[in-house]
Amino acid sequence: MAEQDIPSPRRGRRSPQEASVDPAAQAMLAFADEIGASTAFSRADTLGPCNIGAVGMCCSLCGMGPCRLTKDGSTGICGATIDTIQARNFIRSVAAGAAAHSDHGRDLAFTLKAVADGEAEGYTIRDVPKLRVVASHYGINVRDRSPEEIAGDLADLYLDQFGRQQGVLEPIGRAPVKRRKRWEELGVTPRGIDREIVEALHRTHMGDDQDPAHILHHAIRTSLADGWGGSMIATDISDILFGTPAPLLGEANLGVLKDDMVNVVVHGHEPTLSEMIVAASRDPDIVEYARAAGANGINLAGICCTANEILMRQGIPAAGNFLQQELAILTGAIEAMVVDVQCIMQALVALAEGFHTKIITTSPKVKIKGATHIEFDEHHAVGIAKDILRLAIDNYRERGATHIPDYRNTLTPGFSHEYINYMLGGSYRGSFRPLNDAIMAGRIRGVAAIVGCTNPRIQHDSMHTAITSSLLQQDVLVVETGCAAIANAKFGLLIGDAGLDKVGPGLREVCETVGIPPVLHMGSCVDNTRILTVLTQMVEEGGLGDDIDEVPAIGIAPEWMSEKALSIATYCVASGAYVIMGGSNPVEGRQDKVPESVLVADHMSSGWNEMYGGKLEFVDDADEIISRTINHIDAKRATLGLPEYNPTRFGMSGDARVEELEALPLQERRSALYGANS
Amino acid sequence: MSRYIATRAIRGANGLVAEAEAMVSSAILDQGPDTPVAFPNTAYYLPVALGMTGIEVETLGQLSDVVAHARRLLHPVPADHQWTPYLGETLDSGMATLLAAETIEAIRYIDGRQPEVMPGFDLAGGSAFTSPDTDAVAEESPNGHLNGAIDDIQLRSWGIQLVDGRMPGFAAIVGCAKSNEVAVQIVRELQRRNILCFLSGNVNGRSIIHQLIEEGVELGYDTYTVPFGTDTISAIYALGFATRSALTFGGLKGGQGREILLYNKDRVFAFVLALGEVDDLKYAAAAGAINFGFPVIADTVIPQILPTGVTTYEHVVSMPFNEIDGVDDLERAERLVQKCIEVRGVKVHIADVPVPVPYGSAFEGEVVRKADMRVEFGGKQSRAFEYLRMAELDKVTDGKIEVVGPDFSEIEPEGHMDLGIVVDVAGRQMEKDFEPVLERQIHYFVNGASGIQHIGQRDIAWIRLSTKATDAGFRLEGFGKILHARFHADFGAIVDKVQVTLVTDPPMLTELLNEARVAYDFRNKRLEDLTDTAVDVFYSCTLCQSFAPNHVCIVSPERLGLCGAYNWLDCKASFNINPTGPNQPIKLGRSVDSIKGYWEGTNEYAKIGSHGVVDEVAMYSIMENPMTACGCFECIVMLIPEANGVMVVSREDTSMTPAGMTFSTLAGLAGGGIQTPGVMGVGKFYLASPKFISADGGFKRVVWMSSFLKDSMSDELKVVADLAGDPALIDRIADERLVTTVEELLPWLEEHEHPALTMEAIL
């Protein structure tokens, strides 16, 4: 540990420019070096990944091991083969990821229930129309009933999905018919959310399921219980309680922190507490309290997916993505970092000790040694939110010197599938027709969902921005969630103006027609279900095949790191998508040493492709990801019989010519625009 | 959209909605919230408001709800940078504009500012502006004002042409063309393709309406060129027309906004042609039109919106007039129109008729006044006849046009002469039965030429040639050229060869006329013998299904289609022309009930043809499973239970009926492909058929009928009365001149001893 605290000479260490492409991050990394602070970046430089575990060749599931299988033909103590071990490790990750998303969904369902029962202080049902639409999916009677009555039934139905033992998970009914049939035939339709996760853990206990294909089969089922279950429930209820997002203007990067205000950063994944903190931060008493403390008010900002939740709905700025949590503390400008669940580094507490920042844990499930714990309870949310803010305000006077990097960019988040439907035709003519038309004509070559984390083993944000920029120039429309969206927001790709000069000619026409940025921010990582819904609606609109696997679309997680990402990837594959993960490959194996160590990776690619029309591949090179993406999209276009992509065919429309003519002097302008009228 | 257009459209929308709000408030203050509001002769309240919001506006006060709805659809203009999306917002603002525009026009109707006053202007073919209360106003004069809203009667009478594709759609022309010459050319090009032209708007005070009036172009229903008003707001009538098409023919109801708009996108081939500078309000109205799937084509530089989706093809196309390829402005105008048709994907079949005058259905209604006339054939002072006969293939020389006798060059201006038009046709699929079917087309074909008026048929034909047409070089051969071209184009499947002889030579004319009269007599006998029991197939007619998706007509020898345009022989010919077309033979099979008119074959077909909406159809009853209607019926028959009979209202009749509703309102009950016992839309010649509601007691059930029918069908009705054994029967039937309420009707009928009063109870 001593070694990494020495800032210089930086033997084996990346420079800030090598560690991140984000100038704000670079500035903070330079500052960290200066003061000798440890960050995930520096730790990644000094702590290499275990070269056996990283490629999935180690089994630590029982007390007879851990067993490292590094030679051809070797097995674990129990005789487990390399492919069994890889499949078991993989499904355990999927189960953990599915559990994280689904437990998030469960808590929201409890909140909805409490709101329906009138027991949740400060919460209301903000989107009654969505409540009615969602409830109608399940045959809940919505006529002549109060929103609370409907919400009560919906909450009960959703809570039932977790503990249900048999039958079909209800939200599965929202997938395309053909897809559901395929799941039914392959026997992967999930029964109950908790049941599939428990079964995954059971199957991978010592001495259970030892057929890799059979294990992976259940990985599919477990992930579906996430994507078409827990996550979808989370998104639905978040929209119902806090409003379905629609575009607004926001900002991203560390420059959103304010020197003269009390900075409170919310970090994690859930909107429940953060929405309440947003409300409390606007409370006149609290604002007055902050002024009394000498601050110019309260400045709220987010990190990670909590940021996305309140950015999408409230326009609260995002201070950064996953890898910026420590960098935010390094600014010295944060009075409190309020965290809930998932992706919160334990390192925050130690780092914060060098500053005045208070790390406040709030989830009953998440405590961190040394952090302040103020437990959140949705029944008393307003009071708790105010307590947290008062604590932060009280801490303002402890603030020392600040180093806020002056980098931030604007973005337009808020693309729920409901809004996408609206934006393509308005209140009366909303539909996915214009999107499908644009793809069919070839103005839009295809759609890429670029999602997922950031990872300190990869140059921060580099893969996200490189892949996104390149695809945009090749007329691929990009939709994003999670930390990927924040990455590209920082580089100005999520703003309308980017639709004019950072894209190919056909996509430019579409962006200009609709007024959209070329990258649509669709929410947090549980909101990947919105992408599933969009794909389903594209299929239902017609012209792009009758199942998701026929749509010229792809999913990419270029800088993934969490187990949730693996669950997302798996349910996307099961739904028919080609998914490419950047960075490390947990089932990579070592073909040179253990030939059979690539069987699982092969199965996830060609095996799953045969069964689901989607496949999972790990590719660590941005150019290779781009080329596979383009090849995949073009192949899907060809299968659908769509015209071959041709960048010279489109781009004739738009405002440019008129704006040019309007700049002419009056007389010339008149005749140029209108001709000479007799 | 484009941000440029979005900005202007949203700005325009905000402005117009504010104006509508102000007008509504002050109108309510001045005249009270209960002041009635309506467009004359429309059954659909304010149609766009009804369609899009479901509000049935009858009073001023309700306009507040309409503008409140419009207000909710408004959005702020997009920012110069870092904008949020604007397409959906602009379309919504466009819809708000339409609601505001309709509100404003409705208030102007109260004030008498609509239809727009234009002193000295005459509308061709009457006007929408006939007051339902005082017929006197209608009879006074249709002149001195522009058209305003199109009335339902006109919409329905265009109906059959709209649904069978003869009239492919409409062009909403807004603004002012580059020159008068260009304005005329644009309209001529559209007329040539039978596309309705709706005119509105201006550029700096000058409108295409002014341009066309100055050039002496006839404007009005008869020439398919309807001047709405010289401001942009009056373009709302075009969208009201579109909305009512969906309500009238599509079976849709008020409030089904999305369905109505999609109906228009898929079935109504309309577009907006913006001439001259496009200002905020025009952009806003255009955004409203795009909601209907109607694209916008401009002859100036405006941003193009080429991606598709809300419209079928491009949304906005700019075709700057000066940049159009062409030797002169006329050719540029032609290309502009071609572009419009291409962008909307309008299907236009157009026969190239080699005559030196403009040609198209739009000219069918043209009137040649005596003062403008070069020569006439037939009428009071001379005789004209037309006779089409089938001949052997080797006896006909295709394309041969022969004039036998002198030309009209020796006739003094405004003079007259005798003329016989004899058409010999031959073809492998030709049948003797098709002779009258084809012969009747001569009227439409000849009328299509601009400057030529054709009235009547057989030996009572009456044709006028205008000086303008003869100056342009039209001679007698022209008739032959028209007939040759059109018979090939329209009936090519049964007609292989066409030869036309134009006879003015007196001896030959007499000879041929005698031959023709023998043939006319023969055909009359054939028609008399052609009864429902004499055939074993009826024909379906689903021509309207492009517009009224679930309606199906079953046409029998004794019951023609409700539009009046297709009888059994027409259908038979049509089936021969296009064996997979809209007229299919229905094998009758076993008779289920010969009184009410059920056959196994007709019942089975009714179910299939209506896509399951209707289970059975009784051919001869109004009370039990009556035939449905699309919306283009000539008359409505409706039960008057108090009188134990039925009334018959013709669509020409705008007055109140004993049912307490006018034709327009009744039409809403009868149309849309819905079966409503006691209400039926029919073709007027069905009234004279022995099978007219024969299961319910036949023609003797008619207790009231529009005087228009009594007058225009007096010969046929006389036969009916004689057959019924009561020559005075027609005089026992009331009409709108005598009785307009059911309370008046009963004593009147008793006084005139109407037979229905003593007939078996109809219910």
Mean pLDDT of B396-401: 90
Q: Computed from CA positions of residues B483, B484, B486, B491, in that sequence, does the dihedral angle turn out positive or negative?
A: positive
Residues of A in contact with B314 (CB under 8 A): 653
Closest by Cα among A230, A57, A228, A93 to A566: A93
Burial class (CB in 10 A: 0-12, 13-18, 19+), B53: buried
Contact flag B3-A512 (C-beta cutoff 8 Å): yes
Single-letter code of the amino acid located at A625: I
Q: Which residues of B touch A251 (CB under 8 A)?
A: none
CA B209 and chain centroid, separation: 22
pLDDT higher than threshold 60 for residue B716: yes
Does residue A676 register a pLDDT over 80?
no
| Closest in A437, A497, A515 to B85, CB measured | A515
More confident residue, A204 or B444: A204
Bridge partners (DSSP) listed for residue B389:
B424
pTM: 0.84
Q: What is the DSSP string of B240-296?
A: HHHHHHHHHHS---TT-HHHHHHHHHHH-EEEEEEES---HHHHHHHHHHHHTT--E
Cβ–Cβ under 8 Å, residues B537 and B437: no
Closest chain A C-alpha to B580 CA, distance in angstroms: 27
Residue B4 to residue A677, Cβ atoms within 8 A: no
Name, in order, each residue with C-beta under 8 angstroms of A665's C-beta and a sequence gap of 6 or more. Answer: none
CB B698 within 8 A of CB B729: no
Task: Provide, rounded to the nearest whole percent, the portion of chain A with pLDDT above 70.
Answer: 98
Distance separating alpha carbons of residues A559 and A466, to the nearest angstrom: 12
Phi, psi dihedrals of residue A319, rounded to the nearest 5°: -75, -20
Cα Rg, chain B, nearest whole Å? 27
pLDDT tens per residue across span B133-183:
333 333 344 578 999 999 887 888 787 777 666 788 899 999 999 999 999
Query: Measured between alpha carbons, how far is B93 from B365 in angstroms, rounded to an integer?
Result: 39
Select from A655, A661, A677 the Cβ nearest to the Cβ of B3. Answer: A655
Cβ pairs A/B, distance under 8 A: 153
Q: Do A412 and B276 touch (CB under 8 A)?
A: no
Pairing of strands A372-373, A409-411: unpaired
Taking the CB of residue B575, how many other CB atoms lie within 10 A of it?
18
What mean pLDDT do residues A459-464 have?
Answer: 98
pLDDT at B32 over 50: yes
Residue ranges of domains in chain B: 3-111, 135-344, 361-505, 532-758
How far apart (Å, rounded) are the C-alpha atoms in residues B740 and B656?
6
Chain B's closest residue to A443, CA to CA, is B307
Q: Are B264 and B270 in contact (CB under 8 A)?
A: yes
CB pair distance less than 8 Å for A412 and B303: no
Q: Model confidence at B43, in pLDDT bands (50, 70, 90)?
A: confident
pLDDT exceeding 90 applies to what percent of chain A? 93
Largest Cα–Cα distance of chain B, in whole Å? 86
Tell if the CB–CB gap between B88 and A425 is shorter than 8 Å: yes
| From B83, B291, B315, residue closest to A515, measured CB to CB | B83
Chain B residue with CA closest to A515: the answer is B85
What are B557-594's pLDDT values in tens digits?
A: 999 988 877 889 888 888 887 787 788 999 999 999 99
CATH fold of B361-505 reads 3.30.1650
Query: Are residues A496 and B85, on separate chains, in Cβ contact within 8 Å?
Result: yes
Rounded Cα distance, B523 and B435, in Å: 9
- The C-alpha atoms of residue B617 and residue B505 are separated, in whole angstroms, by 53
B441 burial (CB, 10 Å; 0-12 / 13-18 / 19+) is middle
Q: What are the structural domains, with CATH classification, of chain A?
A: 82-241 (1.20.1270.30), 250-396 (3.40.50.2030), 417-583+619-640 (3.40.50.2030)
- Single-letter code of the amino acid located at A537: Q
Q: Which residues of chain B have a CB within 8 Å of the CB of A497?
A: 81-82
Alpha-carbon span B89 to A514, nearest angstrom = 10
Q: What is the pLDDT of residues B1-20, one digit of tens each?
A: 799 999 999 999 999 999 99
Residues B672-681 have a mean pLDDT of 88
Domain B135-344 has CATH 3.40.50.2030: yes
- Is residue A191 pLDDT above 80, yes or no? yes
Cβ contact A435–B276 (<8 Å): no
Angle ∠(B102,B107,B109) on CA atoms, nearest 5? 95
Show the tokens assigned to A508.
Answer: 């430019």
For residue A276, what are its two tokens? 């309440």
The band of A10, judged by pLDDT with boundaries at 50, 70 and 90, is low
Q: Which of A470, A464, A467, A477 is nearest to A508 (CA)?
A: A477
pLDDT at B668 over 50: yes
What's the confidence (pLDDT) of residue B51? Answer: 97
pLDDT at B344 over 90: no
> 3-state secondary structure string, B503-531?
ECCHHHHHHHHHHHHHHHHHHHHHHHHCC
Cα of A315 to nearest chain B Cα, Å: 13
Which residue, among A566, A674, A547, has the nearest Cα to A618 in the 3D structure?
A566
The mean pLDDT of B63-78, rounded to a whole number, is: 97
Candidates A424, A428, A538, A650, partner chain B, best to mutate (most B CBs within 10 A):
A428
Mean pLDDT value of segment B114-124:
87
Chain B neighbors of A655, CB-CB under 8 A: 2-4, 303
**CA–CA separation, B717 vs B56, rounded Å?**
39
Q: What is the predicted pLDDT for the residue at A340?
A: 97
Sign of CA dihedral A429, A433, A438, A441: negative
Model ipTM value:
0.94
* Minimal Cβ distance to A675: which of B81, B309, B321: B321
**What is the C-alpha to C-alpha distance for residues A252 and A353, in angstroms, rounded to an integer?**
26
pLDDT at residue A11, as a whole number? 62
Mean pLDDT of B375-380: 89
Best of B52, B310, B332, B343 to mutate (most A CBs within 10 Å, chain A): B310
Does B95 contact A435 at a Cβ distance shorter than 8 Å? Answer: no
Task: Check CB contact under 8 Å for A652 and B85.
Answer: no
Tokens at residue A513, please? 């027609």
Q: Distance (Å, rounded) from C-alpha A410 to C-alpha A488?
A: 11
**Predicted local distance difference test score (pLDDT) of residue B459:** 87
Q: Which of B516, B474, B266 is nearest to B387 (CA)?
A: B516
Q: Verify whether the Cβ–Cβ distance A428 to B261 is below 8 Å.
A: yes
Q: Where are the beta strands (DSSP E) in B379-444?
A: 384-390, 401-404, 415-417, 419-426
For A120-136, the pLDDT digits (tens) are 989 999 999 999 999 99
DSSP B163-177: HTTSS-EEEEEEE--
Contact B91 A436 (CB under 8 A): no
Residues A640-665 have pLDDT tens digits of 999 999 999 999 889 988 988 988 88
Q: Which residue has the tokens 């046709």?
A: B425
pLDDT at A3 over 60: no
- Kindly state the average pLDDT of the residues A607-631: 97
**Which class is B532-758 in CATH?**
alpha beta
| Gap between the Cα atoms of A12 and A31, Å rounded | 19
Q: Provide the b/e sequence for A168-203 (b: ≥16 CB within 10 Å).
A: ebbbbebbbeebbebbeeeebbbbbbbbbbebbeeb
CA distance B291 to B302: 19
Contacts A410 to B, Cβ<8 Å = 82
Interacting residues of B296 by C-beta distance below 8 A, sequence separation 6+: B271, B272, B274, B286, B289, B290, B315, B316, B317
Q: Report pLDDT for B129.
A: 37
3-state per-residue secondary structure call for A541-572: HCCCCCCHHHCCEEEEECCCCCHHHHHHHHHH
Which pLDDT value is given to residue B132? 31
| Cβ-contact A490, A24 below 8 angstroms | yes
Q: Which of chain B's residues have a Cβ under 8 Å away from the Cβ of A538?
A: none
Question: A25-79: per-residue pLDDT in tens?
Answer: 999 999 999 999 999 999 999 999 999 999 999 999 999 989 999 999 999 999 9
| Angular region, B661: left φ>0, alpha ψ -120 to 50, beta rest | beta
Q: Which residues lie closer than 8 Å to B79 by C-beta, 6 or more apart?
A: none
Domain spanning B3-111, CATH architecture: Orthogonal Bundle (1.10)
Burial of B370 (0-12, 13-18, 19+ CB in 10 A): exposed
Indicate whether B315 pLDDT > 50: yes
- Contact assignment for A435 to B309 by CB distance below 8 Å: yes
Q: What is the DSSP string of A49-100?
A: PPTTGGGT-EE-SSTT--EE--STT---TT---HHHHHHHHHHHHHHHHHHH
Comparing CB atoms, the residue among B84, B91, B291 nearest residue A248 is B84
